[in-house]
Structure 1
Amino acid sequence: MDSYFIPPDNVVEQLKCSLCDSYLSVSPVMLISEDGNQYKCGRCSSIKTVISTRSTIYEHLAKLMTFPCNFKDCAKKIPFSDVKDHEKVCEQRTIICPKSNCNESIKVQKIAPHFKEKHNEVYHTNYFCIKNVYAYYNIDVLEKNGKTYISFFDFDDVNFGVSICATDPTDTFQYEIQLKSDKSNFAISITNQNIILFNEREHCFKCVSGTCKSKFHVYKDNRKEISKRMSTKINRDSIKRMFGPGLITYSINIIEEADKNMKDDSKVEVKDALIRKAKKIFLQLLECPLCKEYMSPPIFQCLSGHTMCHVCKPKLENCPNCQANIEKTRNYTLEELSKKVELPQIEEKRPKVESGLKRSLEENDKNDNSAKIQKN
């Protein structure tokens, strides 16, 4: 910090943005008046002005300076290049409540208690469900495991739009939306939606409702642009075709890492169960219906399709199931599959081998008609 110039307070107070009255401490800094007396800071870069000329000389000088934090309860002096990042995480960060008809200044970490006390009808915990999406646009606050999220729901003639904003810049969780109708038994889930960082200049419900008086909010005069920039858009006509007439509701759930791991583990368990069931069914198909041993190539079948192993086949003239003729027809599909399955080692006479159980073509003595089983 010793290498930076700390200008006197009376000088710094003159270095203010003409639009938002913040310090000119975020680039790009732009000249916006012909007389050279009005500037806008980088926070207002998306606000269009008739004149907009970058003040590079000022920026070069500003890089050698420190600036006060814009939040009055923060006493830190921050280098020009670090101001933008500091403002995202500053513990004293304050905003004007984004809810309509409320102009109270609140600290970001106090948003949830503020909504719980003053706007309880739109305060939720863990998850929330909203009814009648065709007639609803609003801001909602969701608190889950100590973290606060702000939800914006809006719509236009084409889409429903939803954005979920985190007040914590380190939050990298996702959310899911589930749509239901009171006339249908099924639901539509939209998963893996990214949560974005809350920005009071962009995420203002007063802008949505047309009551915002802030001259530096990006969309206060362009409500349609708000809908276009929603992080999740759902086509209205598609929803009508899927659900038909009726009351449509949507629910929002934040998917934290633990929730995601549980879902992933559940998917793995279901997958493993399906694999075990499929293997069991396949082993049953590989079992010769006569000697009850697992079949290995060559595998024969009667003219009707019933299978038998190559040991039992010479002993039969007709299929014991349907009495159809048994010729030299082989089931090549089952043979190929039998080479790929790993057979269980249940007893000595059913050893586990790479390509199934190999039967010896040599029979034992005349009194023993069973096949001799060898290990590969």
Structure 2
Amino acid sequence: MSEQTALSFTDEVLETNCIFCALCKDLLRPPIMLVENIGNVCSVCFMGEKRNNQKNLNNSALETIIAILKLPCKFKAKGCKARLGYEDLMLHQNNCKYRTKLCSLFKISGCNWEGSAADFVNHFKEMHGDHVINFENNLFYLQTSFNDLDLVKLLVMRSHTYILHMQTDLCKKKLFYLICNVRDDSDVFYEYSVKHKGSSHNYIKTKSRILPASNIYNDYIDESVAVEVDLESLRQIAQVSDTITNIFKIKVDSAQPDGIDEKMLHFFECPVCKNFMKPPIYQCQSGHSICNICRPRLEKCPTCRSMFGTTRNYSLEGLTSGVQYPCIYHDLGCSEMSTANKIIKHESECPFKPYTCPFPNCTSSGNKQTIITHLRDFHPEGVIFSGTPGYTETFRLDQNTYYNKVVERKCVIAFNHIFRLASKRVCEHCLWGAEVIGCTSQLNNFVYEVAIVDMRRPEKKLIKTDYCLNEMSEEELFKRCIMFPNNILTSYCNHGMVTFHFTIKQK
């Protein structure tokens, strides 16, 4: 049979519609099942429908015929002239430049949009704006819950746009996800890493590469190319919360930052937190080293289970003088590198440093600007954004009211820092304390002042000042704060009400 005759035969077969699925009307995909009272059904439709009460058999003869035909691309009407064997055709159609894009949110939102590649991103932004995550400092932040079984997000980064697809399989106890190019013709497949963080200090880190656009259109993630994360491990780092913060970093340049000697830094990696150890460095009785942050949390060595003492690894500490340390927030986008002492100072005020919301029972996290925006949007009643770095308030001094403690908190955004101000009233005292959120190197630059004012005679004031504190537990804060006995405050009352000014000042 000549090639022209074979093509004519194929066209005649196509006109009979006998090689198309009776249900989805698409080209039959092996194994082809002949179902009673329905006809030939492709493998996808057969598996998706219950056929237990109907007779069916495998139509192997039709499978053989389809395998030898040179079939036209399904986008023939749009200009594609390709004719290929079945297996090659399936691969071709996934990447055909004439194909129209389907909305990736069809399965989740039911959107049945279909259009050109040029219009795909605009459609997504206009119709599904809540599913768009914009580039921020080389990072994408996404909070997910264990109840989120299927998520699709559009990641917008400079001149590149990607689709993120995440699925939770409760039966397999796995989280699967992948990131794909949106453009079919893109040959840029950058590496990326993801930090999965919960309410604990621990995290899980995964790595992979951007995948071709053809993977966008599958209803279910292809597990052979997806990244998988164990759900039980995620629950452990989430602890009391069911929320995980996923920090995606797409590495547009796979090269390591200049000056990082990976072989040297490998010897300084803490076996517990995986961060690089800086002096003081401790060691167990067998000689295994651990960083000064993890040492107080452990009684036994995680490597050999030997007991810890106070022994320092002075030899390893001596080598640190010749090491250029990357910032601990390197994976979050910071490129700063310096000696141990300088990098510790930098890390305390690094712009990439992650923050958590200062209000209790809120698990939101991000960099400083992200948290400031979060405070403005979600806690406006408890945040002072005005030019005045403090606030004035009045409360009733009634000792009988405070047998059960009363704690009030506010946040002040001042001097390019976030301050958490807390007051506590008990039966015998009133207490005030102030913390600088996320900053450890400039604590001595800030003080807080509490001024008790007699509103009958405003010139009469009782003022105390103290240094702002680092973040700490509520119990510890109120042990180190400013305190006024209630029997003294009584003389400043106006009809039983006490007025105070709570102010942050820079030295």
The normalised TM-score by structure 2 is 0.40
1:10 and 1:234 mapped to 2: Cα distance?
Answer: 50
CA RMSD across the alignment: 4.1
2:74 and 2:12 mapped to 1: Cα distance?
Answer: 15
2:236 and 2:251 mapped to 1: Cα distance?
Answer: 28
> For 1:225-304, what aligned pairs fall within 5 Å after superposition?
231-246=226-241, 247-256=243-252, 258=253, 260-262=254-256, 269-272=261-264
Picking from 115, 118, 130, the partner of 2:142 is 130
- Aligned residue for 2:178, secondary structure, equals strand
Q: Structure 1 residue 271: deviation in Å? A: 3.0
Please say if 1:67 is aligned against 2:81.
no
> What's the CA shift string for 1:113-168, capped at 9, x where partnerless?
32112111111244422224234342112244435323224353774513114254
2:100 and 2:191 mapped to 1: Cα distance?
Answer: 25
CA change 1:16–1:227 in 2 (3 A) is closer
Q: Which residue of 2 aligns with 1:23?
A: 27
Contact 2:30 2:63 in 1 (8 A): no
CA change 1:199–1:146 in 2 (3 A) is closer
Picking from 196, 212, 216, the partner of 1:179 is 196
1:33 and 1:84 mapped to 2: Cα distance?
Answer: 24
CA change 1:201–1:186 in 2 (3 A) is closer
Q: Which residue of 2 aligns with 1:94?
A: 100
How many aligned positions are there? 246
Picking from 102, 126, 139, the partner of 2:152 is 139
Q: Which residue of 1 aligns with 2:165?
A: 151
CA change 1:252–1:141 in 2 (3 A) is same
Q: Structure 1 residue 95: deviation in Å? A: 4.5
Normalized per residue, the structure richer in strand is 2
Picking from 185, 194, 206, the partner of 1:190 is 206
CA change 1:2–1:174 in 2 (3 A) is farther
> For 1:210-229, what aligned pairs fall within 5 Å after superposition?
none
Q: Structure 1 residue 87: deviation in Å? A: 0.4
| Largest Rg, 1 or 2 | 1
CA change 1:123–1:52 in 2 (3 A) is farther
CA change 1:253–1:174 in 2 (3 A) is same
The normalised TM-score by structure 1 is 0.52
1:140 and 1:270 mapped to 2: Cα distance?
Answer: 34
1:125 and 1:71 mapped to 2: Cα distance?
Answer: 36
- Unpaired runs of 5+ residues, structure 1, are 204-225, 276-376
- Aligned residue for 2:78, secondary structure, equals coil
CA change 1:160–1:129 in 2 (3 A) is farther
Contact 1:17 1:23 in 2 (8 A): yes
Q: Which residue of 2 aligns with 1:284?
A: none
Q: Structure 1 residue 11: deviation in Å? A: 4.8
> What's the CA shift string for 1:214-265, capped at 9, x where partnerless?
xxxxxxxxxxxx7988933433443343353245311223445x2x3236x6
- Unpaired runs of 5+ residues, structure 2, are 268-507
Contact 1:155 1:227 in 2 (8 A): no
Contact 2:164 2:180 in 1 (8 A): yes
Stretch of structure 1 that moved more, 110-119 or 242-251: 242-251
1:119 and 1:229 mapped to 2: Cα distance?
Answer: 29
CA change 1:273–1:17 in 2 (3 A) is closer
- Aligned residue for 2:104, secondary structure, equals coil
CA change 1:152–1:114 in 2 (3 A) is farther
CA change 1:86–1:184 in 2 (3 A) is same
2:169 and 2:59 mapped to 1: Cα distance?
Answer: 36
Picking from 81, 84, 90, the partner of 1:84 is 90
2:171 and 2:45 mapped to 1: Cα distance?
Answer: 29
Please say if 1:39 is aligned against 2:58.
no
Give the letter aligned to residue 94 of structure 1.
Answer: T
Contact 1:160 1:234 in 2 (8 A): yes
1:150 and 1:242 mapped to 2: Cα distance?
Answer: 23
Q: Structure 1 residue 29: deviation in Å? A: 5.6
Moved over 6 A (4+): 226-230
2:188 and 2:4 mapped to 1: Cα distance?
Answer: 34
Give the letter aligned to residue 106 of structure 1.
Answer: G
Q: Which residue of 2 aligns with 1:287?
A: none
Contact 1:7 1:65 in 2 (8 A): no
2:209 and 2:74 mapped to 1: Cα distance?
Answer: 33
1:110 and 1:33 mapped to 2: Cα distance?
Answer: 40
CA change 1:44–1:255 in 2 (3 A) is farther
- Aligned residue for 1:56, secondary structure, equals helix
